[in-house]
Chains A and B, each alone.
Chain A
Amino acid sequence: MSGTYLGMPAFPQAAKAATRDTRLRANLRHATHTIRDKRARAVGELDDWAVLREAGKRIKDRTLRHLDTYLLQLEEHVTAAGGTVHWAADAAEANRIVADLVQATGETEVVKVKSMATQEIGLNEALAAEGITAYETDLAELIVQLGDDLPSHILVPAIHRNRGEIRDIFAEKMARWGRPAPEGLTDRPADLAEAARLHLREKFLRAKVGVSGANFMIAETGTLVVVESEGNGRMCLTLPETLISVVGIEKVLPTWQDLEVFLQLLPRSSTAERMNPYTTMWTGTSEGDGPRDFHLVLLDNGRTDTLADEVGRQVLRCIRCSACLNVCPVYERAGGHAYGSPYPGPIGAVLTPQLRGTTSAVDASLPFASSLCGACYEVCPVAIDIPEVLVHLREQVAGQPGHRAERAAMQAATWLFEHPAALAAAERAASATRALHPRRLPLGPAKAWTETRDLPQLPAESFRSWWQHHHTEPPTPPEPTS
């Protein structure tokens, strides 16, 4: 079974190890810079990208404003098309619903399409506790599952692994899960893909139950949409007799026409493709074609609370493209695991604390896991102002217990800035004693600064002192007549 995020340390501690792992740093640097450059080219091809981005933002905002209406419309149309809609308030309820549905089929195995929602609720672990084995069929998710590992990226969950590591995982672990890796497996990408294909094909052909998420749900028709690259999704969505889709409530779009915007925004932002290879759409069930039984589990799990926050709600526009991860200088150096959730990178730093709250050490540290450089906002295809939300969440965390010393320091700074005469006196005192100031300090924030950086040598006098004592007015120029 895959690992767990429970008990993760705060971001700075987790990131410390990653910054010193030279192989991880090299893997991440190469991967993120490659996809970042490709994305820039794919986006640059479209003259109307800014307009598309604005349209995507507005469609999502309008939908979220009337979310209740569109969800009920969706339920009505899914039901009319032969599907069954379930409402899950939280992870436990969603997991219970899915486990009961699988048990009702009498099966003990399911095949899965890559899905962030089921990662978020820990579905695989919940099913395992009920004696049901969930097989991940996306190549990277398979690598993560076989390696008893955690995903570290939204789009490429095994981004932290290189092909040598993947070969070792396949050779060692495939046999335990099904068809073993071929003898003498090399680390050539084509050989690794073939090993995965052979291993997975048996599962696709045998499985009676498929589990997926969805990228979009169309309210006016009751249609679900999954976009993917490997074809494993198409297999899982069409071959099993029963299909169970767990989807966050924010994934609904009002109309087919809205989809036009997002099928342009998403592939170019995520895989840097003009169009993703496989787009599967289904509406309820069809006699003699595809699953006979279709269940849609609509997941809240903190989304309604997020929607209630006027600043924070913009994160519900997210279409999980991961462009923000690929441009983030902090993600590139800290790696995805430091974020302590299936949602790493800038979007994770604003989504996770809203979905889970900020009580655990890692969740409370996430809003601070950013230099606020704004690169994420610049590439976001639905214009989520991630820095704005980060600062908004910092305010919530700073209001929690445990920030007494920081608050006192900030209050002292504001007091000083409100008393320029005292500020000037403090500057004079600091300058007068500057020869005595050490370059390294042993405690707290000063230690954190001086471990890698010298403190600046303070000037002989402050600017305001220079202005008072040395600045001379230039001769008054003639006033312009206009």
Chain B
Amino acid sequence: MRVALFATCVNDAVLPRAAIATVRLLERLGVRVDFPEQQSCCGQPQFNTGYRHLTEPLVRRMERVFDGYDHVVTPSGSCAAMVRDNYPRIGAKAQAEGRGDELARAAQAVTPRLLELTEFLVDVLGVTDVGAYFPHKVTYHPSCHGLRMLGLGTRPLGLLRAVKGLELAELPGAEECCGFGGTFAVKNPDVSAAMGADKIANARSTGAEVLCGADNSCLLHLQGMLRRQNSGRQDAPLRAVHLAEILAATETTPWSPA
């Protein structure tokens, strides 16, 4: 089984801990992981902002870079959803514009092999208990793309429940969007911040120390708000942590902040 990691641009440049954790977790589970270094970004920011044509070279790149792998695993629900939902549309639109089926074939080649991390763990490896240890109170935010576009269902919570020492607190209004939404966060900053503030208030109401998610772009927004809020607060700080970091933590190599 040849497995490649698609780290995603956000994890690569800004939040590498989630990608490093994914590698360590998969290797601990006996999976040999490659990181093809010609990879970069799935093109979601361009596509969702209305620049479809600028995503086309990145569709071709994804197909080229991950050619020959049985599975491409990514610790990001929204990037996985971009590939699975939108690559076929990009291919179909190019065909409709009379530009042949080359993009559609590229999309078709990569789309079925791209899996979000929890899908790979539960569906391909067939594991729920990954042998992790994380002695903290955690609440889980199922980001919209994982929840509604990929339909991750109970996979993330099932994995978290099996983590030794972890106390799981149910997040009120879990299915509601955190307000990130890519360029929405800067095009509609007031609504975005109002949504983020409500998400954080719900997370705080659980008494959790950790707000866990499987999408670092959402967590970037929430952690940015948390850091702003935490400065000046007396109570225990809440922090946003990617699911992969929790699953990678063990008693011998425990998770540590920063």
Give the distance in Å from the alpha carbon of A452 to the alpha carbon of B57 in the complex: 34
- Total interface residues in chain B, CB < 8 Å: 72
Give the distance in Å from the alpha carbon of A480 to the alpha carbon of B124 in the complex: 15
Contact between B30 and A368, CB atoms less than 8 A apart: no
A375 at the interface (CB under 8 A from B): yes
In the complex formed, the residue of B with least CB distance to A385 is: B85
Contact between B40 and A371, CB atoms less than 8 A apart: no
| 8 A Cβ contacts from A380-397 to B | 388, 391, 394-397
B156 at the interface (CB under 8 A from A): no
A289 at the interface (CB under 8 A from B): no
Partner of A453, one of B12, B47, B57, B221: B221
B125 at the interface (CB under 8 A from A): no
Residues of A within 8 A of B127 (CB): none
Residues of B within 8 A of A448 (CB): 185-187, 189
Give the distance in Å from the alpha carbon of A374 to the alpha carbon of B82 in the complex: 13
Give the distance in Å from the alpha carbon of A1 to the alpha carbon of B163 in the complex: 63
Contact between B224 and A462, CB atoms less than 8 A apart: no
Contact between A417 and B194, CB atoms less than 8 A apart: no
A369 at the interface (CB under 8 A from B): yes
Query: With A371-B144, A423-B40 given, is the CB distance from A463 to B11 under 8 Å?
Result: yes
Give the distance in Å from the alpha carbon of A171 to the alpha carbon of B161 in the complex: 58
Give the distance in Å from the alpha carbon of A208 to the alpha carbon of B231 in the complex: 67
Give the distance in Å from the alpha carbon of A373 to the alpha carbon of B54 in the complex: 23
Contact between B182 and A372, CB atoms less than 8 A apart: yes
Contact between A368 and B15, CB atoms less than 8 A apart: no
By a beta-carbon cutoff of 8 Å, the part of chain A in contact with chain B is 11-12, 15-16, 19-20, 25, 310, 329-330, 333-334, 367-375, 377-378, 388, 391, 394-399, 406-407, 410-411, 413-414, 416-418, 420, 423, 427, 430, 445, 448-449, 451-456, 458-459, 461-464, 466-468, 471, 473-474, 476-477, 480
By a beta-carbon cutoff of 8 Å, the part of chain B in contact with chain A is 1, 7, 9, 11-17, 19-20, 23, 27, 30, 32, 35, 37-41, 43, 45-52, 54-55, 57-58, 61, 86, 89, 96, 144-145, 148-149, 175-177, 179-197, 220-221, 223-225, 227-228
Shortest Cβ-Cβ A-B pairs, 6 listed:
A371-B181, A453-B224, A394-B50, A398-B50, A373-B177, A463-B16
- Can you give 16 A-B contacts (C-beta < 8 A)? A25-B194, A329-B176, A330-B195, A367-B50, A371-B177, A375-B144, A375-B176, A395-B50, A414-B43, A418-B58, A448-B185, A453-B185, A454-B227, A463-B11, A464-B37, A471-B23
